[in-house]
Amino acid sequence: MARETWATRTGFILAAVGSAVGLGNIWRFPFITGQYGGSSFLITYLAFVALIGFPAILVEFVIGRRTDRNPVGALRELGSGAWSYAGWLFVVTGFIILSYYSVVAGWFLRYTLIGITEGFTLTDPAEANALFGTVSTGLDTLLFHAVFMLLVIGIIAAGVRRGIELSVKVMVPVIVVLLLGLAAYGFTLDGASAAYSYYLSPDFGTIAANWTEILPAAAGQAFFTLSVGMGVMITYASYLGEDRNLAADAGIIAALDTLVAVLVGFVVFPILFSVGIEPGTGGPGAIFVSLTAAFAGIPGGRILGVVFFGMVGIAALSSAISILEMLVSYLIDELGVSRVPASVALGTAVFLLGVPVTIDLMFLNLYDLLADGILLVLGSLLLALFVGWVIPDVARDELRKGIADIGGLDDAWIWAVRIPIVIVVLVSLYLGIVDYVDFLTGDFADWLAAR
C-alpha cells in the first residue's frame, strides 16, 4: 500500500502546530516562567526559539521529507553505522514522554469534569492541594489516563488524513479561539497590570546573575514546546507529498507555538495576581492548586475554569497523537505491521508504562527529568551533528527545494546547526545530566529508602 500523505498544506501545518502546542505551552511554560523570574525567562526563551528552535525544526523537516520514512528508517537511509541506531533513541524517548504526558492530560480532563459537575469552590489552598492529591494519584487517575490513551489510539488508528488531519483542523482553531477569549478576560481582571509588568519588563541583571539556570531551562523548554528532539517532526514531514517551502512552514509553526505560549501567560498571570498568588511558587501541581483556588475566587470562575482545563485537554490530545504517530510509523514502515494493530499495541504499551505515574508522583519526576532534561536534548544534539557534519550537502539540497530564492538562508542555517546549536545543546545536556544524578541520589534515593 502506498504511504499516506497530507491532503493539504494547511493540514500539515495544523498538525505540526497541534503537536507543538500542548502541555508544554500551557502547563509547563507558566510555572517554568514563574520559577525563573517571569520576564527575564520569557526573553531568553524567545531568543532560543528563534535561534535554536527554528533551525532544529528545519533539521527534522529536511530529514523527514528527504526520506519519506519514520525516524529510525530515515537515519538508517541517510547515515551509516552507528547513526542508524540513533533513531532508537527517539523511540525510547517517545514511549517515556507519551506515558506521563497522557497521565497529566488525564488530570486536565478530570478537572474539566469537576468544573462541570461541581464547580470550583475551594479557596483554601490546603483544600485545593488535597483535591490535587486525589486527582493526581489513584485508580481514578488510571481511568482518566486510559480514556486519554484511547482517544489518542482512536485518532492514530484512523490514519494520517482521516485521523490526524481531520482532528487537528477542528482542535487547533478551537484552542486558539478559546485562548484569545481567555486572554481578553484576563485583561479585565484587577491583577492585570501587575501581571503584565511582571511578565513583560525584562531585568537583564537577573538574567546575568542566573544564566546557568535560565539558559538550560530556556533551551529545554524551547525544544519541548516545539516538539523537536525525538523525531516527531521527522515523521510529520515524511508525509509531505510535494516540495513546499519548509522554511516558511517551520517559521509559521514556531511563531504560532510561541504566540500561544505568550498568550497563556496573559491568561494565567492576571488570574494569579488577581487572587494574590505568587507565580514563582511553581511545580507541576501548583498550577492546578493556584488556578482552582483562583477560579473559586473570581467572577465567572467556573465557566472560565471549564474552558481553560478543557482547552488544555484538547491541546494535549493534538500533541499526544504526534508522539504515537511517530512510534506507529516505525512499526508500519519497518516491520510492515498494519496501522490499526500497530496503534493498539503501542498505545497499550505506552499506557502500561504510564501506570506507575498514576501511583506516585515521584515517577513523574523520574520520567520527566530523564526525557526532558536528557533524552530530548541528546536527540537534538545527535540530529544537529548529523545534519551539520555528516550530511550537510544533502540537507542543503533538500532545504532548497520549494524555495524560489534561498538567499543565504541555507548557509546561515547549516552554520547555526554546526556550531552554536551544538554548543548550547551540549551545555544543556551536561546540566541536565548533573540535575538527574542529583535527583537520583537525592530525592529519589530518599523516597526509595522510605519504602
Give every CB contact of residue 192 below 8 A, 6+ residues apart in sequence: 186, 270, 273, 274
**Least distance to ligand PHE from the beta carbon of 60, Å?**
10
Residue 192 or 256 with smaller CB distance to ligand PHE:
256
Residue 49 or 192 with smaller CB distance to ligand PHE:
49
**Least distance to ligand PHE from the beta carbon of 224, Å?**
5
Cell of 359: 501511583
**Least distance to ligand PHE from the beta carbon of 49, Å?**
12
**Least distance to ligand PHE from the beta carbon of 322, Å?**
5
Helix and strand tally (H, E) in the chain?
24, 0
**Least distance to ligand PHE from the beta carbon of 23, Å?**
4
Interatomic CA distance for residues 377 and 217, integer angstroms = 11
Residue 395: Cβ-neighbour burial (10 angstroms; 0-12, 13-18, 19+)? buried
Residue 112 or 322 with smaller CB distance to ligand PHE:
322
**Least distance to ligand PHE from the beta carbon of 430, Å?**
21
Cell of 64: 523527514
Residue 145 or 275 with smaller CB distance to ligand PHE:
145
Interatomic CA distance for residues 199 and 383, integer angstroms = 33
Start-to-end CA span in the chain (Å)? 52
Q: Does 105 bind ligand PHE (CB under 6 A)?
A: no
What is the 8-class DSSP label of residue 373? I
The C-alpha angle 122, 128, 131, rounded to 5 degrees, equals 110
Residue 189 or 222 with smaller CB distance to ligand PHE:
222
| Number of residues lying near ligand PHE (CB under 6 A) | 15
DSSP 382-407: HHHHIIIIISHHHHHHHHHTT-S--T
The residue nearest ligand PHE at its CB is 24
What is the 8-class DSSP label of residue 265? H
**Quick check: 67 and 238 in contact, CB under 8 A?**
yes
SS3 assignment, position 146: helix
For residue 96, which amino acid is it? I
**Least distance to ligand PHE from the beta carbon of 231, Å?**
9
Residue 29 or 199 with smaller CB distance to ligand PHE:
29
**Least distance to ligand PHE from the beta carbon of 261, Å?**
8
* Segment contacting ligand PHE by CB under 6 A, of 154-162, 172-180, 222-230, 347-355: 222-230
**Quick check: 318 and 21 in contact, CB under 8 A?**
yes
Q: Does 100 bind ligand PHE (CB under 6 A)?
A: no
- Candidate residues 90, 198, 224, 239; the one interacting with ligand PHE per rule CB under 6 A: 224
- x/- map, 175-194, ligand PHE, by CB under 6 A: --------------------
- Candidate residues 152, 157, 179, 323; the one interacting with ligand PHE per rule CB under 6 A: 323
Residue 24 or 115 with smaller CB distance to ligand PHE:
24
Q: Which residues of 179-206 are buried (b: 16+ CB within 10 A; e: fewer)?
A: beebbebbeebebbebbbebbeebeeeb
* Segment contacting ligand PHE by CB under 6 A, of 43-51, 56-64, 220-228, 420-428: 220-228
Residue 28 or 244 with smaller CB distance to ligand PHE:
28
Interatomic CA distance for residues 406 and 8, integer angstroms = 23
**Least distance to ligand PHE from the beta carbon of 257, Å?**
7
- x/- map, 230-269, ligand PHE, by CB under 6 A: x-x-------------------------------------
Interatomic CA distance for residues 209 and 205, integer angstroms = 6
**Quick check: 93 and 229 in contact, CB under 8 A?**
yes
The residue assigned the cell 492576571 is 270
Residue 128 or 320 with smaller CB distance to ligand PHE:
320
Site for ligand PHE in 15-74 (CB under 6 A): 19-20, 22-25
- Candidate residues 112, 322, 329, 358; the one interacting with ligand PHE per rule CB under 6 A: 322
**Quick check: 252 and 13 in contact, CB under 8 A?**
yes
Site for ligand PHE in 262-321 (CB under 6 A): 319
Residue 230 or 296 with smaller CB distance to ligand PHE:
230
Which parts of this chain interact with ligand PHE (CB under 6 A)?
19-20, 22-25, 97, 224-225, 227, 230, 232, 319, 322-323
